[in-house]
Structure 1
Protein backbone atom coordinates (compact mmCIF):
# COMPACT_ATOMS: atom_id res chain seq x y z
CA UNK A 1 0.00 0.00 0.00
CA UNK A 2 2.92 2.36 -0.66
CA UNK A 3 0.86 4.38 -3.16
CA UNK A 4 -2.07 4.86 -0.80
CA UNK A 5 -3.46 8.30 -0.15
CA UNK A 6 -4.36 9.65 3.26
CA UNK A 7 -7.93 10.36 2.23
CA UNK A 8 -10.27 11.42 -0.54
CA UNK A 9 -9.81 12.77 -3.22
CA UNK A 10 -7.14 10.55 -4.75
CA UNK A 11 -5.12 13.05 -6.77
CA UNK A 12 -2.00 12.50 -4.64
CA UNK A 13 -1.70 8.79 -5.31
CA UNK A 14 0.99 8.06 -7.94
CA UNK A 15 -0.48 5.95 -10.71
CA UNK A 16 -3.79 5.61 -8.90
CA UNK A 17 -6.71 4.80 -11.18
CA UNK A 18 -9.25 7.59 -11.42
CA UNK A 19 -12.61 6.75 -9.93
CA UNK A 20 -15.44 6.99 -12.44
CA UNK A 21 -17.94 9.79 -12.49
CA UNK A 22 -21.58 8.77 -12.48
CA UNK A 23 -24.71 10.05 -14.19
CA UNK A 24 -27.41 7.62 -13.07
CA UNK A 25 -30.52 7.59 -10.86
CA UNK A 26 -29.72 8.03 -7.18
CA UNK A 27 -30.36 4.39 -6.21
CA UNK A 28 -27.79 3.14 -8.70
CA UNK A 29 -25.52 6.16 -8.14
CA UNK A 30 -24.96 5.22 -4.50
CA UNK A 31 -24.17 1.66 -5.60
CA UNK A 32 -21.63 2.85 -8.17
CA UNK A 33 -19.98 5.15 -5.62
CA UNK A 34 -19.82 2.34 -3.07
CA UNK A 35 -18.24 -0.02 -5.61
CA UNK A 36 -15.67 2.59 -6.67
CA UNK A 37 -14.66 3.31 -3.08
CA UNK A 38 -14.58 -0.41 -2.25
CA UNK A 39 -12.24 -1.04 -5.19
CA UNK A 40 -9.96 1.81 -4.09
CA UNK A 41 -9.82 0.36 -0.57
CA UNK A 42 -9.13 -3.18 -1.78
CA UNK A 43 -6.44 -2.01 -4.21
CA UNK A 44 -4.78 -0.02 -1.43
CA UNK A 45 -5.32 3.34 -3.13
CA UNK A 46 -7.22 4.43 -0.02
CA UNK A 47 -5.13 3.52 3.00
CA UNK A 48 -6.51 2.02 6.23
CA UNK A 49 -7.61 4.86 8.49
CA UNK A 50 -7.80 7.39 5.64
CA UNK A 51 -10.65 9.91 6.07
CA UNK A 52 -13.49 9.82 3.54
CA UNK A 53 -14.84 13.36 3.28
CA UNK A 54 -18.41 13.41 2.00
CA UNK A 55 -18.08 16.83 0.36
CA UNK A 56 -14.97 15.80 -1.60
CA UNK A 57 -16.57 12.55 -2.73
CA UNK A 58 -19.75 14.37 -3.77
CA UNK A 59 -17.73 16.89 -5.81
CA UNK A 60 -15.76 14.14 -7.51
CA UNK A 61 -18.89 12.31 -8.62
CA UNK A 62 -20.85 15.53 -9.27
CA UNK A 63 -23.67 14.40 -7.01
CA UNK A 64 -25.41 15.61 -3.87
CA UNK A 65 -24.46 14.39 -0.41
CA UNK A 66 -27.41 11.97 -0.24
CA UNK A 67 -26.08 9.13 -2.47
CA UNK A 68 -22.65 9.57 -0.87
CA UNK A 69 -24.13 9.02 2.60
CA UNK A 70 -26.00 5.96 1.30
CA UNK A 71 -22.78 4.56 -0.20
CA UNK A 72 -20.86 5.10 3.03
CA UNK A 73 -23.63 3.44 5.07
CA UNK A 74 -23.48 0.43 2.74
CA UNK A 75 -19.71 0.20 3.05
CA UNK A 76 -19.96 0.54 6.83
CA UNK A 77 -22.42 -2.39 6.97
CA UNK A 78 -19.93 -4.47 4.94
CA UNK A 79 -17.02 -3.58 7.21
CA UNK A 80 -15.06 -1.45 4.73
CA UNK A 81 -15.71 1.90 6.39
CA UNK A 82 -15.88 3.12 9.97
CA UNK A 83 -18.19 6.04 10.82
CA UNK A 84 -17.69 7.85 14.13
CA UNK A 85 -19.76 10.62 15.67
CA UNK A 86 -18.13 14.04 15.19
CA UNK A 87 -15.27 12.45 13.24
CA UNK A 88 -16.95 11.30 10.05
CA UNK A 89 -16.08 8.31 7.89
CA UNK A 90 -12.72 6.66 7.38
CA UNK A 91 -11.38 3.48 5.80
CA UNK A 92 -11.64 0.60 8.26
CA UNK A 93 -8.26 -0.58 9.52
CA UNK A 94 -6.90 -4.08 9.03
CA UNK A 95 -6.96 -5.86 12.38
CA UNK A 96 -5.56 -9.25 13.39
CA UNK A 97 -8.72 -10.20 15.27
CA UNK A 98 -11.02 -9.48 12.32
CA UNK A 99 -8.81 -11.45 9.95
CA UNK A 100 -8.85 -14.51 12.18
CA UNK A 101 -12.60 -14.31 12.77
CA UNK A 102 -13.41 -13.98 9.06
CA UNK A 103 -11.48 -17.16 8.31
CA UNK A 104 -12.98 -18.99 11.29
CA UNK A 105 -16.48 -18.26 10.00
CA UNK A 106 -15.47 -19.17 6.46
CA UNK A 107 -14.10 -22.47 7.74
CA UNK A 108 -17.45 -23.40 9.27
CA UNK A 109 -19.56 -22.31 6.30
CA UNK A 110 -17.35 -23.70 3.57
CA UNK A 111 -16.91 -27.01 5.32
CA UNK A 112 -20.71 -27.33 5.26
CA UNK A 113 -20.90 -26.18 1.64
CA UNK A 114 -18.35 -28.66 0.35
CA UNK A 115 -20.06 -31.56 2.14
CA UNK A 116 -23.36 -30.65 0.45
CA UNK A 117 -21.72 -30.12 -2.94
CA UNK A 118 -19.61 -33.26 -3.33
CA UNK A 119 -22.48 -35.71 -4.02
CA UNK A 120 -23.73 -33.43 -6.81
CA UNK A 121 -20.45 -32.80 -8.63
CA UNK A 122 -20.30 -34.00 -12.23
CA UNK A 123 -17.36 -34.64 -14.57
CA UNK A 124 -18.00 -31.24 -16.15
CA UNK A 125 -18.06 -29.35 -12.84
CA UNK A 126 -14.89 -31.13 -11.71
CA UNK A 127 -13.10 -30.21 -14.94
CA UNK A 128 -14.12 -26.59 -14.38
CA UNK A 129 -12.82 -26.69 -10.79
CA UNK A 130 -9.51 -28.19 -11.95
CA UNK A 131 -9.08 -25.46 -14.60
CA UNK A 132 -9.79 -22.72 -12.03
CA UNK A 133 -7.37 -24.29 -9.56
CA UNK A 134 -4.62 -24.31 -12.19
CA UNK A 135 -5.38 -20.71 -13.19
CA UNK A 136 -5.11 -19.50 -9.60
CA UNK A 137 -1.87 -21.42 -9.05
CA UNK A 138 -0.14 -19.78 -12.02
CA UNK A 139 -1.48 -16.25 -11.47
CA UNK A 140 1.17 -13.71 -10.32
CA UNK A 141 -1.12 -10.66 -10.21
CA UNK A 142 -2.70 -10.15 -6.74
CA UNK A 143 -6.01 -8.78 -8.04
CA UNK A 144 -6.46 -11.58 -10.57
CA UNK A 145 -5.32 -14.20 -8.06
CA UNK A 146 -7.94 -13.10 -5.56
CA UNK A 147 -10.65 -13.33 -8.24
CA UNK A 148 -9.49 -16.74 -9.42
CA UNK A 149 -9.13 -18.03 -5.89
CA UNK A 150 -12.73 -17.05 -5.17
CA UNK A 151 -13.89 -18.58 -8.46
CA UNK A 152 -12.22 -21.88 -7.54
CA UNK A 153 -13.85 -21.98 -4.11
CA UNK A 154 -17.22 -20.97 -5.55
CA UNK A 155 -17.01 -23.72 -8.17
CA UNK A 156 -16.35 -26.31 -5.46
CA UNK A 157 -19.51 -25.30 -3.58
CA UNK A 158 -21.88 -24.45 -6.44
CA UNK A 159 -23.39 -27.98 -6.75
CA UNK A 160 -24.64 -27.68 -3.15
CA UNK A 161 -27.49 -25.54 -4.52
CA UNK A 162 -27.75 -23.47 -1.34
CA UNK A 163 -28.14 -19.85 -2.52
CA UNK A 164 -28.25 -18.28 0.95
CA UNK A 165 -25.16 -20.17 2.05
CA UNK A 166 -23.42 -19.13 -1.17
CA UNK A 167 -24.36 -15.49 -0.55
CA UNK A 168 -22.90 -15.55 2.97
CA UNK A 169 -19.67 -17.14 1.73
CA UNK A 170 -19.38 -14.56 -1.08
CA UNK A 171 -19.80 -11.70 1.41
CA UNK A 172 -16.99 -13.11 3.57
CA UNK A 173 -14.76 -13.49 0.51
CA UNK A 174 -15.26 -9.78 -0.22
CA UNK A 175 -14.69 -8.86 3.42
CA UNK A 176 -11.47 -10.87 3.53
CA UNK A 177 -10.03 -9.75 0.19
CA UNK A 178 -7.67 -7.16 1.69
CA UNK A 179 -6.34 -9.79 4.08
CA UNK A 180 -5.84 -12.41 1.37
CA UNK A 181 -3.71 -9.96 -0.62
CA UNK A 182 -1.21 -9.92 2.25
CA UNK A 183 -0.18 -13.43 1.21
CA UNK A 184 1.62 -11.93 -1.77
CA UNK A 185 4.13 -10.46 0.66
CA UNK A 186 4.75 -14.05 1.81
CA UNK A 187 5.36 -16.01 -1.42
CA UNK A 188 6.24 -19.27 0.35
CA UNK A 189 2.82 -19.33 1.95
CA UNK A 190 1.12 -18.56 -1.35
CA UNK A 191 2.76 -21.69 -2.78
CA UNK A 192 1.63 -23.67 0.26
CA UNK A 193 -1.93 -22.44 -0.30
CA UNK A 194 -1.84 -23.61 -3.93
CA UNK A 195 -0.74 -27.09 -2.81
CA UNK A 196 -3.63 -27.18 -0.34
CA UNK A 197 -6.05 -26.30 -3.16
CA UNK A 198 -4.80 -29.30 -5.14
CA UNK A 199 -5.31 -31.62 -2.16
CA UNK A 200 -8.85 -30.30 -1.60
CA UNK A 201 -9.68 -30.78 -5.28
CA UNK A 202 -8.36 -34.36 -5.19
CA UNK A 203 -10.60 -35.17 -2.20
CA UNK A 204 -13.62 -33.71 -4.01
CA UNK A 205 -12.82 -35.76 -7.11
CA UNK A 206 -12.69 -38.90 -4.91
CA UNK A 207 -15.98 -37.83 -3.30
CA UNK A 208 -14.31 -38.14 0.09
CA UNK A 209 -16.49 -35.80 2.13
CA UNK A 210 -14.71 -36.20 5.46
CA UNK A 211 -11.24 -35.52 4.05
CA UNK A 212 -12.46 -32.60 1.93
CA UNK A 213 -14.09 -31.01 4.99
CA UNK A 214 -10.95 -31.51 7.06
CA UNK A 215 -8.72 -30.04 4.34
CA UNK A 216 -10.88 -26.99 3.65
CA UNK A 217 -11.15 -26.26 7.37
CA UNK A 218 -7.39 -26.53 7.90
CA UNK A 219 -6.72 -24.45 4.79
CA UNK A 220 -8.91 -21.56 5.93
CA UNK A 221 -8.01 -21.64 9.61
CA UNK A 222 -4.34 -21.73 8.65
CA UNK A 223 -4.73 -18.67 6.44
CA UNK A 224 -6.51 -16.83 9.23
CA UNK A 225 -3.74 -17.62 11.71
CA UNK A 226 -1.04 -16.66 9.20
CA UNK A 227 -2.61 -13.25 8.57
CA UNK A 228 -3.27 -12.81 12.30
CA UNK A 229 0.43 -13.36 13.10
CA UNK A 230 1.57 -11.16 10.23
CA UNK A 231 -0.61 -8.21 11.28
CA UNK A 232 0.22 -8.65 14.97
CA UNK A 233 3.97 -8.69 14.30
CA UNK A 234 3.69 -5.71 11.95
CA UNK A 235 1.79 -3.70 14.56
CA UNK A 236 4.41 -4.56 17.18
CA UNK A 237 7.23 -3.52 14.83
CA UNK A 238 5.50 -0.24 14.01
CA UNK A 239 4.92 0.49 17.70
CA UNK A 240 8.59 -0.23 18.48
CA UNK A 241 9.73 2.05 15.65
CA UNK A 242 7.42 4.85 16.79
CA UNK A 243 8.52 4.72 20.44
CA UNK A 244 11.91 6.48 19.95
CA UNK A 245 10.23 9.18 17.85
CA UNK A 246 7.67 9.82 20.57
CA UNK A 247 10.44 9.95 23.15
CA UNK A 248 12.48 12.46 21.11
CA UNK A 249 9.43 14.64 20.62
CA UNK A 250 8.44 14.66 24.29
CA UNK A 251 9.12 18.00 26.09
CA UNK A 252 11.75 17.92 28.80
CA UNK A 253 10.35 17.45 32.27
CA UNK A 254 11.04 20.18 34.86
CA UNK A 255 12.95 18.71 37.84
CA UNK A 256 10.82 18.52 40.93
CA UNK A 257 12.14 20.54 43.89
CA UNK A 258 11.82 18.85 47.26
CA UNK A 259 9.34 20.68 49.43
CA UNK A 260 7.80 22.57 46.52
Structure 2
Protein backbone atom coordinates (compact mmCIF):
# COMPACT_ATOMS: atom_id res chain seq x y z
CA UNK A 1 0.00 0.00 0.00
CA UNK A 2 1.29 3.44 -0.89
CA UNK A 3 2.27 5.50 2.13
CA UNK A 4 2.02 9.26 2.44
CA UNK A 5 5.35 11.04 2.59
CA UNK A 6 6.47 12.26 6.03
CA UNK A 7 6.06 15.87 4.90
CA UNK A 8 2.47 15.34 3.71
CA UNK A 9 0.86 15.07 7.14
CA UNK A 10 2.44 18.26 8.57
CA UNK A 11 1.49 20.16 5.40
CA UNK A 12 -2.12 19.04 5.65
CA UNK A 13 -2.14 19.82 9.36
CA UNK A 14 -0.84 23.34 8.67
CA UNK A 15 -3.49 23.94 6.00
CA UNK A 16 -6.16 22.66 8.40
CA UNK A 17 -5.03 25.02 11.16
CA UNK A 18 -4.75 27.89 8.71
CA UNK A 19 -8.28 27.27 7.44
CA UNK A 20 -9.48 27.36 11.06
CA UNK A 21 -7.67 30.68 11.64
CA UNK A 22 -9.13 32.28 8.50
CA UNK A 23 -12.59 30.88 9.32
CA UNK A 24 -12.36 32.40 12.80
CA UNK A 25 -11.40 35.78 11.34
CA UNK A 26 -14.37 35.62 8.96
CA UNK A 27 -16.77 34.72 11.77
CA UNK A 28 -15.40 37.48 14.01
CA UNK A 29 -15.88 40.04 11.24
CA UNK A 30 -12.19 40.77 10.75
CA UNK A 31 -12.71 39.79 7.11
CA UNK A 32 -16.08 41.28 6.20
CA UNK A 33 -18.40 39.78 3.54
CA UNK A 34 -17.10 40.62 0.07
CA UNK A 35 -13.51 41.18 1.24
CA UNK A 36 -10.85 40.01 -1.23
CA UNK A 37 -8.55 37.48 0.40
CA UNK A 38 -5.24 38.18 -1.30
CA UNK A 39 -2.58 35.54 -0.91
CA UNK A 40 0.12 38.04 0.00
CA UNK A 41 -2.06 39.50 2.76
CA UNK A 42 -2.82 36.06 4.19
CA UNK A 43 0.79 34.87 4.08
CA UNK A 44 1.85 37.96 5.99
CA UNK A 45 -0.96 37.84 8.54
CA UNK A 46 -0.54 34.15 9.37
CA UNK A 47 3.22 33.89 8.73
CA UNK A 48 2.95 31.01 6.25
CA UNK A 49 3.88 30.34 2.64
CA UNK A 50 1.52 30.51 -0.32
CA UNK A 51 1.02 26.73 -0.62
CA UNK A 52 -0.92 26.15 2.64
CA UNK A 53 -2.88 29.34 1.96
CA UNK A 54 -4.14 27.90 -1.33
CA UNK A 55 -5.14 24.62 0.32
CA UNK A 56 -6.84 26.44 3.19
CA UNK A 57 -8.85 28.53 0.73
CA UNK A 58 -9.96 25.39 -1.13
CA UNK A 59 -11.19 23.99 2.18
CA UNK A 60 -13.08 27.16 3.01
CA UNK A 61 -14.66 27.26 -0.43
CA UNK A 62 -15.95 23.73 0.15
CA UNK A 63 -17.40 24.87 3.47
CA UNK A 64 -19.14 27.83 1.86
CA UNK A 65 -17.22 30.56 3.67
CA UNK A 66 -15.51 31.97 0.59
CA UNK A 67 -15.97 32.16 -3.16
CA UNK A 68 -13.15 31.33 -5.59
CA UNK A 69 -13.52 32.83 -9.06
CA UNK A 70 -11.18 32.38 -12.06
CA UNK A 71 -8.80 35.32 -12.51
CA UNK A 72 -10.32 37.06 -9.49
CA UNK A 73 -9.09 34.99 -6.57
CA UNK A 74 -10.87 34.45 -3.27
CA UNK A 75 -13.36 36.63 -1.46
CA UNK A 76 -15.49 36.22 1.63
CA UNK A 77 -18.97 35.04 0.70
CA UNK A 78 -21.60 37.75 0.69
CA UNK A 79 -24.56 36.53 2.71
CA UNK A 80 -27.54 37.65 0.63
CA UNK A 81 -31.25 36.82 0.89
CA UNK A 82 -31.06 33.79 -1.41
CA UNK A 83 -28.17 32.30 0.54
CA UNK A 84 -30.01 32.76 3.84
CA UNK A 85 -33.20 31.19 2.45
CA UNK A 86 -31.24 28.21 1.16
CA UNK A 87 -29.45 27.64 4.46
CA UNK A 88 -32.61 27.80 6.54
CA UNK A 89 -34.39 25.56 4.04
CA UNK A 90 -31.64 22.96 4.53
CA UNK A 91 -31.87 23.36 8.30
CA UNK A 92 -35.66 22.99 8.19
CA UNK A 93 -35.15 19.49 6.79
CA UNK A 94 -32.18 18.31 8.86
CA UNK A 95 -32.97 19.68 12.32
CA UNK A 96 -36.48 18.19 12.59
CA UNK A 97 -34.97 14.77 11.81
CA UNK A 98 -32.55 15.20 14.69
CA UNK A 99 -35.28 16.41 17.03
CA UNK A 100 -37.46 13.43 16.11
CA UNK A 101 -34.66 11.00 16.92
CA UNK A 102 -33.95 12.79 20.18
CA UNK A 103 -37.64 12.53 21.06
CA UNK A 104 -37.44 8.75 20.71
CA UNK A 105 -34.29 8.25 22.80
CA UNK A 106 -34.35 11.04 25.40
CA UNK A 107 -34.71 10.46 29.12
CA UNK A 108 -36.55 12.54 31.70
CA UNK A 109 -33.15 13.93 32.72
CA UNK A 110 -32.58 15.09 29.13
CA UNK A 111 -35.93 16.86 29.14
CA UNK A 112 -35.05 18.54 32.44
CA UNK A 113 -31.82 19.80 30.87
CA UNK A 114 -33.79 21.18 27.92
CA UNK A 115 -36.13 22.97 30.30
CA UNK A 116 -33.20 24.42 32.22
CA UNK A 117 -31.55 25.74 29.04
CA UNK A 118 -34.88 27.16 27.83
CA UNK A 119 -35.45 28.88 31.17
CA UNK A 120 -32.00 30.48 31.07
CA UNK A 121 -32.77 31.63 27.53
CA UNK A 122 -36.08 33.09 28.75
CA UNK A 123 -34.38 34.98 31.56
CA UNK A 124 -31.77 36.40 29.19
CA UNK A 125 -34.56 37.48 26.84
CA UNK A 126 -36.40 39.42 29.53
CA UNK A 127 -36.02 43.19 29.32
CA UNK A 128 -33.30 44.31 29.08
CA UNK A 129 -32.23 41.67 26.56
CA UNK A 130 -28.81 40.08 27.07
CA UNK A 131 -28.07 39.05 23.48
CA UNK A 132 -24.80 37.26 24.24
CA UNK A 133 -26.42 35.18 26.99
CA UNK A 134 -29.39 34.38 24.75
CA UNK A 135 -27.10 33.13 22.00
CA UNK A 136 -25.15 31.02 24.48
CA UNK A 137 -28.24 29.42 26.04
CA UNK A 138 -29.83 28.93 22.62
CA UNK A 139 -26.76 26.98 21.50
CA UNK A 140 -26.93 24.94 24.71
CA UNK A 141 -30.62 24.18 24.11
CA UNK A 142 -30.05 22.85 20.60
CA UNK A 143 -26.78 21.10 21.47
CA UNK A 144 -28.57 18.86 23.98
CA UNK A 145 -30.69 17.38 21.19
CA UNK A 146 -27.74 16.36 19.01
CA UNK A 147 -25.34 15.04 21.66
CA UNK A 148 -25.95 11.43 20.60
CA UNK A 149 -26.98 12.11 17.02
CA UNK A 150 -25.25 9.56 14.75
CA UNK A 151 -25.44 11.64 11.56
CA UNK A 152 -22.14 13.49 11.91
CA UNK A 153 -22.26 14.82 8.34
CA UNK A 154 -25.63 16.42 9.00
CA UNK A 155 -24.32 18.02 12.18
CA UNK A 156 -21.31 19.38 10.30
CA UNK A 157 -23.57 20.97 7.68
CA UNK A 158 -25.61 22.73 10.36
CA UNK A 159 -22.58 23.86 12.34
CA UNK A 160 -20.61 24.96 9.28
CA UNK A 161 -23.27 27.28 7.96
CA UNK A 162 -24.47 28.12 11.45
CA UNK A 163 -21.13 29.79 12.16
CA UNK A 164 -21.42 31.90 9.02
CA UNK A 165 -25.03 32.85 9.73
CA UNK A 166 -24.19 33.71 13.35
CA UNK A 167 -21.34 35.93 12.18
CA UNK A 168 -23.82 38.01 10.19
CA UNK A 169 -26.54 37.79 12.84
CA UNK A 170 -24.17 39.27 15.44
CA UNK A 171 -24.39 42.53 13.50
CA UNK A 172 -28.15 42.73 14.12
CA UNK A 173 -29.81 43.22 17.48
CA UNK A 174 -32.58 40.77 18.34
CA UNK A 175 -35.91 42.47 18.96
CA UNK A 176 -37.91 41.79 22.11
CA UNK A 177 -40.73 40.49 19.93
CA UNK A 178 -38.49 37.89 18.32
CA UNK A 179 -37.05 36.95 21.72
CA UNK A 180 -40.58 36.27 23.01
CA UNK A 181 -41.38 34.16 19.96
CA UNK A 182 -38.25 32.06 20.44
CA UNK A 183 -39.26 31.43 24.04
CA UNK A 184 -42.67 30.21 22.88
CA UNK A 185 -41.11 28.05 20.15
CA UNK A 186 -38.68 26.43 22.58
CA UNK A 187 -41.58 25.64 24.90
CA UNK A 188 -43.50 24.02 22.03
CA UNK A 189 -40.54 21.80 21.18
CA UNK A 190 -40.12 20.74 24.81
CA UNK A 191 -43.84 20.04 25.23
CA UNK A 192 -43.92 17.80 22.15
CA UNK A 193 -40.81 15.91 23.26
CA UNK A 194 -42.15 15.48 26.80
CA UNK A 195 -45.30 13.94 25.31
CA UNK A 196 -43.21 11.60 23.19
CA UNK A 197 -44.97 12.92 20.07
CA UNK A 198 -42.30 12.58 17.39
CA UNK A 199 -44.27 14.18 14.57
CA UNK A 200 -45.32 17.13 16.70
CA UNK A 201 -41.72 17.61 17.86
CA UNK A 202 -40.53 17.60 14.26
CA UNK A 203 -43.16 20.13 13.24
CA UNK A 204 -42.33 22.39 16.19
CA UNK A 205 -38.66 22.23 15.23
CA UNK A 206 -39.40 23.01 11.59
CA UNK A 207 -41.61 25.96 12.55
CA UNK A 208 -38.83 27.23 14.81
CA UNK A 209 -36.20 27.07 12.06
CA UNK A 210 -38.39 28.72 9.42
CA UNK A 211 -39.43 31.50 11.81
CA UNK A 212 -35.77 32.15 12.63
CA UNK A 213 -35.00 32.36 8.92
CA UNK A 214 -37.79 34.84 8.24
CA UNK A 215 -36.73 36.95 11.20
CA UNK A 216 -33.13 36.96 10.00
CA UNK A 217 -34.19 38.05 6.51
CA UNK A 218 -36.28 40.87 7.98
CA UNK A 219 -33.32 42.05 10.05
CA UNK A 220 -31.19 42.13 6.89
CA UNK A 221 -33.88 44.12 5.06
CA UNK A 222 -34.10 46.64 7.90
CA UNK A 223 -30.33 47.08 7.87
CA UNK A 224 -30.36 47.71 4.12
CA UNK A 225 -33.13 50.29 4.53
CA UNK A 226 -31.13 52.10 7.23
CA UNK A 227 -28.01 52.12 5.06
CA UNK A 228 -30.06 53.40 2.11
CA UNK A 229 -31.43 56.27 4.21
CA UNK A 230 -27.96 57.21 5.43
CA UNK A 231 -26.63 57.28 1.88
CA UNK A 232 -29.44 59.42 0.49
Sort the TM-score into its range (normalised by shorter chain): 0.7 to 0.9
Q: Which of residues 104, 116, 122 in structure 2 aligns to 1:131? A: 116
Q: Summarize the Cα distance change of 1:106–1:126 in structure 2 as closer, same or farther, 3 Å threshold.
A: same
RCO comparison, higher one (Cα < 8 Å, 6+): 2
Gaps of 5+ in 2: 1-8, 125-129
Q: Distance in 2 between matches of 1:193 and 1:183?
A: 16
Give the drift of 1:116: 2.0
- Other-structure match for 1:184: 173
More helix per residue: 2
Gaps of 5+ in 1: 1-23, 245-260
Name the SS for the 2:75 alignment partner: strand
Name the SS for the 2:96 alignment partner: helix
Give the drift of 1:107: 0.9
Structure with higher Rg: it is 1
- Other-structure match for 2:73: 88
Q: Summarize the Cα distance change of 1:160–1:92 in structure 2 as closer, same or farther, 3 Å threshold.
A: closer
Give the drift of 1:69: 1.0
Q: What TM-score comes out, normalization by structure 2 length?
A: 0.80
Q: Which of residues 187, 191, 194 in structure 2 aligns to 1:202? A: 191
Q: Distance in 2 between matches of 1:147 and 1:67?
A: 33
Deviation >6 Å, runs of 4+: none
Q: Which of residues 221, 227, 230 in structure 1 aligns to 2:219? A: 230
Name the SS for the 1:36 alignment partner: helix
Contact 1:117-1:161 at 8 Å conserved across structures: no
- Other-structure match for 1:174: 163
Matched, 1:26 2:15: no
Q: Distance in 2 between matches of 1:189 and 1:161?
A: 31
Q: What TM-score comes out, normalization by structure 1 length?
A: 0.73
